Amino acid sequence: MEFNEFLSVSPEVASALAAGRPVVALESTIISHGMPYPQNVQTALAVEGAVRECGAVPATIAIIGGKLKAGLSRGEIEYLGKKGTQITKASRRDLAFLVSRSCDGATTVASTMIIAAMAGIKIFATGGIGGVHRGAETTMDISADLEELARTPVMVVCAGAKSILDLGLTLEYLETGGVPVIGYGTNELPAFYTRKSGFGVDYRVDSEEELARAFRCGEKMCLGGGMLVANPIPEEYSMDKEYIDSAIDEAIAQSRAEGIKGKETTPFLLAKVKELTGGLSLESNIQLVLNNARLAARTACEYCALIKKEEQQCQGQLP
């Protein structure tokens, strides 16, 4: 299998892709910037384990020593976890310089999508996407994740957009980019820590097979762009909406008072919300990522089964 010259695919992931077996991409910003050590490493390994338990191969993605890596070793995950925020938080704009300078980078949703697409990985599980930040009508603080969803053909399974954002404007931006927002088993956009946001989704889907079929139809029509699957946090880990909204409002007020901007905004807000909730938000974060990884893995299995069926039909083995 031919890969981009800057891309290093682990033997396990390369073998799975060559054999048409299911693979799920996982981001690395959650390791370096999303949680403290050692919880970040423990969570990353648990998420990989959840993908395996559901029949797929995990491909945690990062930039290490200037190489775009699809599939990390345990040692590489440990390295990212220990280095933490010393690792550059890398989006699309950072990739060329990190590679040319042989640097490390922890991939955001946007850059994980890019590297996954280079490797031929179709489905990606994360916690929540970035989006339009509150007050963006004056700050223009809009995550590159939204533009990437509009251009890169990867299915992103998440727990909705992070509730620190302006969810209404985020949905409007996704609509403009032609990105379908799918509610898995729900008609309402989940808001990361909570199952409800007050905003609807474009389509409700109740099975992994339908998710895979819809994504495959978009591929075959060459529509370009990705698909956003919003998977609600499990009920037992969902936080009270008023409680978490109050913590978020306080965190946002403090970020503005301290002049926090750009790529530092989301890590600051998530850390502050964790502090204000006494760590409850971190446990919810871990559980929703595991939940998304399982759904992504099951969907990847259905996608591969669909591709295999198409191949058999082409060969005349099926009617």
Q: Which residue has the tokens 């750009």?
A: 262
DSSP 264-305: GHHHHHHHHHHHHTTTHHHHHHHHHHHHHHHHHHHHHHHHHH
Given a cut of 80, whether residue 13 has pLDDT beyond it is yes
* Mean predicted confidence (pLDDT) in 13-32: 97
Task: Single out the catalytic residue among 69, 89, 122, 162.
Answer: 162
Residue 27 is a catalytic residue: yes
Total residues found in the chain within this entry: 319
Contacts of 45 (CB under 8 A, 6+ apart): 74, 77
Residue 1 lies in a domain: no
* Mean predicted confidence (pLDDT) in 75-100: 97
Question: Residues 125, 25: contact at Cβ < 8 Å?
Answer: yes
Range with top average pLDDT, 54-63, 125-134, 236-245, 257-266:
54-63
Residue 33 tokens read as 């910037």
Could you read off the pLDDT of 187-208 as tens digits, one per residue? 999 998 899 899 999 999 999 9
Residue 89 tokens read as 């938080």
Residue 231 tokens read as 């998977």
Q: Which residue has the tokens 């995550």?
A: 143
207 phi and psi angles, rounded to 5 deg: -145, 150
Question: Residues 28, 22: contact at Cβ < 8 Å?
Answer: no
Reported as a pLDDT band with limits 50, 70 and 90, residue 276 is: confident
Please state the domain count of the chain: 1
The tally of CA atoms less than 13 A away on the side-chain side of residue 217 is 7
CATH code of the domain containing 256? 3.40.1790.10
Q: How many CB atoms lie within 10 A of CB 142?
A: 18
Given a cut of 70, whether residue 32 has pLDDT beyond it is yes
Nearest one of 279, 283, 303, 280 to 291, comparing CA atoms = 283
The tally of CA atoms less than 13 A away on the side-chain side of residue 61 is 31
Residue 22 lies in a domain: yes
Amino acid at 112: T
SS3 13: helix
Residue 28 lies in a domain: yes
* Mean predicted confidence (pLDDT) in 10-27: 97
Could you read off the pLDDT of 88-137 as tens digits, one per residue? 999 999 999 999 999 999 999 999 999 999 999 999 999 999 999 878 77
Is the peptide bond between 267 and the residue preceding it cis, with omega within 30 degrees of 0? no
The pTM of the full predicted model, rounded to 2 decimals, is 0.92
Residue 45 lies in a domain: yes
The rounded distance, in Å, linking the Cα atoms of 176 and 15 is 38
Please give the residue range of the domain that contains residue 213: 7-310
Residue 12 is a catalytic residue: no
Question: Residues 99, 91: contact at Cβ < 8 Å?
Answer: no
Could you read off the pLDDT of 281-303 as tens digits, one per residue? 788 889 999 999 999 999 999 99
Residue 2 lies in a domain: no
Residue 316 lies in a domain: no
Residue 64 tokens read as 């290490």
What average pLDDT does the chain have? 92
pLDDT at 181: 98
- Between 12 and 268, residue with greater pLDDT: 12
pLDDT at 165: 86
Residue 315 lies in a domain: no
Residue 231 lies in a domain: yes
Residue 178 tokens read as 């032609």
pLDDT at 263: 66
pLDDT at 3: 63
Q: Which residues of 287-306 are buried (b: 16+ CB within 10 A; e: fewer)?
A: bbbbbbbbbbbbbbbbbbee
